[in-house]
A and B are shown apart, each in its own frame.
Chain A
Amino acid sequence: MTALFNFPGGIHPPEHKTESNGTPIRALPLLPHYVVPLSQHLGKPAKPCVSVGERVSGGQMIGTPEAGVSAAIHAPTSGRVSAIEARPIAHSSGLNGLCIVIDSDGEDASITTLPPPHEDREAQLARLRTMGLAGLGGAVFPTHIKLAPGRHENWPLLILNGAECEPWITCDDRLMREHAEAILDGAQLIQNLIGAGQILVGIEANKPEAIAALRHAADTASRSHITICPVPTLYPMGGGKQLTYALTGRTTPSGGRTTDVGVQMFNVGTAYALQRAIRHGEPLTRRIVTVTGAVNTPGNYEARIGTPIAALIAAAGGRTSAAHGTLIGGPMMGFDLASDEAPVSKMVNCILVKDSQNFPPPAQVLPCIRCGACARACPVSLQPFEMHWYARAHDFGKVQSFKLFDCIECGCCDYVCPSHIPLVSFFRYAKSEIWAREQEKDAADRARVRHEFRSFRLEREKMEKAAKHAAAAKAKTESAPTPAAMPAADPEATRKKAILAAAMARATEARKAIVPKNTEGLPADKVREISEIESRRASLLQSVHDSIVKEEEEESSPAQKEAP
């Protein structure tokens, strides 16, 4: 497999790999506290299964996966749970998230190791469900779901993603150099689990040592089906769909996954973690993190999940005097870290401390001149300048018609824009607006359905009530005595009626006696007008009275007819 395919667009930003890839991966000393976020993966957060004050061992499950897309969380070391509370986490929102805080007891005692390697596929899958694995390339999709049988047919092709196309990041590079054997072992385990026939490992050509190490590890008879494929150094080569296209020429359909074209992809770090989980029974409690940029000794560190980022920066010699701000991830797709107290989670592959030399303040934004540099750089062949134009005009339907949701937010357009327009920010904004409107529309639809049902229910109740009354009235008239017999039968009622009539007559007399004061001494025409109005009102009252009497007569007439 040497044929390579060129996806459209792409850019060559300065690589900045040598700052951190020259030294071996270093371990960190045991820390007094670890802060383990419950949401470190795509999907639902894990549910805490320990309580405050409880003693835990290293590797013990402290958060169970929820149903659906979720992953387990494990204790990074032995100690005591001192708090389960919201703490700053490494997330682009800068919001706090629920974390389990573990005070280390200094012994770093692990739970008894799991039994030796399982060869049985079902047993391996069952174990992986509890190991908390998630894609370590940055997407952190729970690994056991990608491996679960029955979701798709067999995937004939497994691709390991070692492209690592973002500038500055070298954690996969170092891992491939130092653990090539374990990575390929992990790849073969995955291959057995998903029933793949062939394995390709895609690595950008700027990592010759990693390529050599993997080639060396693959150079045995049992690994003849594994091909190490150097791919051109071109950002965003590490995107799943981009690497799939570069290696196979298969285009993943819009809105689909690479599995739709028969490819399942795992990051090399994930393959390594899977190998540790199956061969050594280790849950995912540590990962390699690149600490680079404006720190005194940049390099790669094996950090336990939950290590405060401040501790990692300190381990890398601390910030230089030129440092300002910190990125999580690379310069293209990373986000600004809100607090150094945030811990390393499964998604933190790089801590990049910025300085003004490599990260100057943003330049003055000028209007778009439609030069099309963004369209030429776009790896998805979008027209970012058109999308920007309509996003600015809040014409989100139009933005969507330019395939907004195919945007992978890789940042190539931002990088090449001569007017320095933050295009990806516009697209994220447009996406969130469209989602918000969809939700509003859904809510409005639900409210409308509720309202319509309520109207229907009220109408139905009214009709039911009317039917009941009619039935009752019918029953009453059937059992009632004849009208002719009524007065005689009920002298008390006649007496009451007489009293009522007398009272009404008195009231009428009294009303007539009261003369409205403001009608005194009016000119003759006004008096005539008033009398006209009065007569009109009287005739109206009369007609209303007549109609009521008529209705009453009609209502009682069937009874009268039946009566004789």
Chain B
Amino acid sequence: MSPTPSVTRIMTQVLWALLPGIAAHVWLFGPALLFSLVLCASFGLLFEAALLKARHYPLRPFLGDGTTLVTAALLALALPTLLPWWLYAVGMLFATVVGKHLYGGLGQNTFNPAMLGFAVLIVSFPAQINVWPAPAALAAYSPSLGDAYDMIFAGARLPIDAFSAATPLDSLKTHLRAGHEASSLIAAQSIPTLQARDLVALLYLLGGLYLLARRIITWHIPVAFLGGIALTSGVLYGLDPAHQAGPFFHLLVGGTLLGAFFIATDPVSAANTPVGKLLYAGLAGLITVLIRSFGSFPDGVAFAILLMNSAAPLIDAYTQPRVFGHRRRHLPGDKP
């Protein structure tokens, strides 16, 4: 009877919305992503079940609600494929156990679980995490399913240069350090994997628009996040076009579109008031570009979102909507 989808239905819709991007990724980068998706999902459900059991929660409604699968999918998409299996396990351990259950379980977590897992991995295992498989068309050698299996489970190490390539953000950083100019790099398409990754990113955008149409998410966070990125990178590019990439580059590369529609919009860890959402996501966009341009990590989406997650309660407290019949909005410190 309820017109609003249940939690399970919301999560299912999010998974559906990820599907085009996943399909394009598999088509362009080979089937290894399927391994990491299945691995993250399996470890996620395993940890979730163990924690639910330990906390005396019923397994069925919580395992079936789909939230763990969404977390697993987001982590798998944020990580490179072809990592050894235990890295996915560590990521999901931090996402599910630390990021979610130690905060009290579904609905109580301060930080986006998938981004927490990703942050732990990129801080602890930077060398492994920076090996990104190249698009199949560009790679000298494209790993087959069997190769992928060997690399993930048996610890086989193919020569890295044969199948991997730097991500656009990585290669921009490297080239800039080498003294090249950003605009010429992008114009000359000397950043190799741009188009393939653009396609995947645009399909995430498509999925995001689907979520908007189904009213699973509201427009505030994606628009403000993309706006924050475009504005900040636009200003930086205007100030220093030689060493900064323009807004279009920033909007398409890295985790921008995935983050805008699927990660920053996680309602549990985001700000929830209309004005708060704009502020939260706009600042996340700003921090993303600052980390990309001036930080040591190639991409800043995860850290920007985690940082703004911690500020979300404060933002909410100061952006309460004006209640019908009141002259102004409630602020902390006002009398009830």
Q: Is the interface of A mostly helix, strand, loop or mixed?
A: loop
Tell me which residues from 362 to 387 in chain A have a Cβ below 8 Å from any Cβ of chain B: 363-364, 366-373, 375-376, 379-383, 385-386
CB of A7 within 8 Å of the partner chain = yes
Contact in complex: A254, B326 (CB < 8 Å): yes
Contact in complex: A379, B324 (CB < 8 Å): yes
Given the complex of chains A and B, what is the CA–CA distance between A368 and B104 in angstroms? 12
User: Contacts A372-B267, A406-B324: A367 and B3 contacting too (C-beta < 8 A)?
Assistant: no
Contact in complex: B65, A366 (CB < 8 Å): yes
Nearest A residue to B272 via CB reads A372
A69 CB → nearest B CB, Å: 22
Contact in complex: B272, A418 (CB < 8 Å): no
CB of A11 within 8 Å of the partner chain = yes
CB of A426 within 8 Å of the partner chain = no
Which of chain A's residues have a CB closer than 8 A to the CB of B106?
A: 366-367, 369
User: Contacts A369-B106, A370-B107, A385-B272: A418 and B6 contacting too (C-beta < 8 A)?
Assistant: yes
User: Contacts A367-B105, A371-B10: A406 and B1 contacting too (C-beta < 8 A)?
Assistant: no
CB of B2 within 8 Å of the partner chain = yes
User: Contacts A367-B107, A369-B106, A397-B336: A419 and B325 contacting too (C-beta < 8 A)?
Assistant: no
Number of A-B residue pairs at CB separation under 8 A: 110
Nearest A residue to B312 via CB reads A370
Question: Chain A 387-423, CB within 8 Å of chain B: the 1/0 string?
Answer: 0000000000100111100100000000111111000
Tell me which residues from 214 to 249 in chain A have a Cβ below 8 Å from any Cβ of chain B: 241, 245
Tell me which residues from 295 to 336 in chain B have a Cβ below 8 Å from any Cβ of chain A: 316, 320-326, 330, 334, 336
Contact in complex: A403, B4 (CB < 8 Å): no
Given the complex of chains A and B, what is the CA–CA distance between A376 and B273 in angstroms? 10
| 29 CB < 8 A contacts A-B | A13-B3, A14-B1, A241-B324, A251-B325, A253-B326, A254-B325, A255-B325, A366-B6, A366-B61, A366-B65, A366-B107, A370-B267, A371-B10, A372-B267, A376-B218, A381-B321, A382-B323, A385-B272, A402-B330, A403-B330, A406-B323, A406-B325, A415-B4, A417-B2, A417-B4, A418-B9, A418-B10, A419-B107, A420-B2
Question: Chain B 1-43, CB within 8 Å of chain A: the 1/0 string?
Answer: 1111111011000000000000000000000000000000000
Contact in complex: B7, A418 (CB < 8 Å): yes
Nearest A residue to B216 via CB reads A371
Contact in complex: A366, B326 (CB < 8 Å): no
CB of B189 within 8 Å of the partner chain = no
CB of A256 within 8 Å of the partner chain = yes
CB of B184 within 8 Å of the partner chain = no
**What is the interface residue range for chain B against chain A?**
20 to 34
Given the complex of chains A and B, what is the CA–CA distance between A369 and B10 in angstroms? 11
B318 CB → nearest A CB, Å: 13
B100 CB → nearest A CB, Å: 11
Contact in complex: B336, A12 (CB < 8 Å): no
Contact in complex: B267, A369 (CB < 8 Å): yes
B274 CB → nearest A CB, Å: 9
Which of chain B's residues have a CB closer than 8 A to the CB of A380?
A: 323-325
Nearest A residue to B277 via CB reads A372
Contact in complex: B272, A370 (CB < 8 Å): yes
CB of A117 within 8 Å of the partner chain = no
User: Contacts A251-B325, A418-B7: A400 and B336 contacting too (C-beta < 8 A)?
Assistant: yes
Contact in complex: A418, B1 (CB < 8 Å): no
CB of B195 within 8 Å of the partner chain = no
CB of B190 within 8 Å of the partner chain = no
Contact in complex: A256, B325 (CB < 8 Å): yes
Which of chain B's residues have a CB closer than 8 A to the CB of A400?
A: 336
